[in-house]
A = this chain, B = another copy of it.
Amino acid sequence: MVHNYSKAVLGPAFRIGILGYTGYSGAKLVSLLERHPSVSVVLLDHRHTEGAVSAQPMPVSSNAPPIARMPWSANAVIENHLDVVFTATPPEVSMEVVPQILAQGAKAVDLSGAFRLTAAQYKRWYGAEHSQPALLQEAVYGLPELHREKIRGARLVANPGCYPTAAICALWPLMGKDWVDRSAGIICDAKSGVTGAGKSLSPKTHFAQVSENFSAYAILKHRHVPEVLNNAGIDESDFAFTAHLLPTQRGILATHYLKLKRPVPMDAILDAYRSAYASSSFIRIYPSQGQPQISLVNRTNFCDIHCSLSQDGLRLVVVSCIDNLVKGAAGQAVQNMNLLLGLDETLGLL
């Protein structure tokens, strides 16, 4: 599947740009791509994101080869022969630069919320008119476990949000069956580490506020909700979502509650997950005895899933667990890049 194998042997074959490399997701992208066997990286400074960065002095070390770094411009895409550009930028910056990237013949993986929704949803949940409605229609939602083939042929991939990745992976295999009493409610109670809130300073992320603390936020009104509805196939009136802030750096664990129309054996449920994810290396279905934990997915691209049934067989609890910065952001973006480049989906991620 690698279309240029000899280059892979001789050295990195593909050239990748990153805009917005100083946030948590962007920095994780850099560290994942440094170890990726088939790419070389160029950091692109956008005035809105990298302008104010003053790097902390680091120790002198001969080991880390410096990464090329230059100001962002549309020309930089051509001059550097970039194959793919990641935009880990605010949505308004992504809407500005993605058309320029595509116009230069490169592909784009956008980690913001700019290209995940419909134009109407964007206006409702982000409070602003979308400036690139045509690109929005072209963009492919980058959850490879659902849209692998479409991603392979895409120019623009909208990398999913962290909470939606956990929720959709847990809910989607069930939604295709006629098992769930949807009107009873499809509940997603999600908990995330602090890096999910981004790097900007806020009293909410001060150590003395977060440590030994826990709280809910954005109850029933988180802007990640429409992503879940669109991709798992759920009506808004049937869905309830609450986010919570964990006193951890990383990790998302989401607990889902569903009512079944009639008892379904656990084996049938696990089979539904196994067949939905038969070709997905990054989904791990738990047996009934163990339990997903964020420490077992942190620093990996896995999404771990566990199911429990009530004694009467009518209440189903599904736990899903990811690293919000890997499967929930940078790792999934690299997975999408691998697909765009015709590489093995898992390259650089295991």
Binding site for B on A (CB under 8 A): 24, 56-63, 181, 183-185, 187, 189, 191, 194-195, 199, 201-203, 205-217, 219-220, 237, 240, 242, 244, 246-251, 253, 255, 257, 259, 281, 284-287, 289-296, 298, 302, 304, 306, 308-312, 314-315, 317, 319, 321, 346, 350
Contacts and interface: CB of A to CB of B under 8 A. Distances in A.
Nearest to A55: B290
13 contacts: A57-B289, A59-B304, A191-B191, A205-B206, A207-B209, A207-B249, A211-B211, A211-B247, A214-B248, A215-B291, A242-B255, A246-B247, A247-B248
A294 B246 CA distance: 11
Given A59-B287, A184-B183, A290-B59, A250 B212 contact: yes
Given A255-B216, A319-B216, A249 B211 contact: yes
Contacts of A311: 220
A207 B214 contact: no
A63 B350 contact: yes
A57 B61 CA distance: 41
Contacts of A189: 187, 189, 255, 257
A41 B251 CA distance: 30
Contacts of A202: 201
A292 B59 CA distance: 8
B248 A217 contact: no
Given A214-B294, A216-B255, A294-B214, A284 B60 contact: yes
A341 to B, nearest CB: 21
Given A187-B257, A203-B201, A240 B315 contact: yes
A341 B207 CA distance: 37
A259 B253 CA distance: 23
A265 to B, nearest CB: 16
A242 B317 CA distance: 9
Contacts of A312: 237
A240 B251 CA distance: 24
A208 to B, nearest CB: 5
Contacts of A205: 206-208
Given A199-B206, A287-B57, A294 B242 contact: no
A53 to B, nearest CB: 11
Given A187-B189, A209-B295, 8 more contacts: A60-B287, A191-B244, A201-B206, A205-B208, A207-B211, A211-B212, A214-B246, A240-B257
A294 B24 CA distance: 18
B58 A290 contact: yes
Nearest to A248: B212
A62 B253 CA distance: 22
Nearest to A305: B59
Contacts of A249: 207-208, 211-212
Given A248-B247, A249-B207, A317 B240 contact: yes
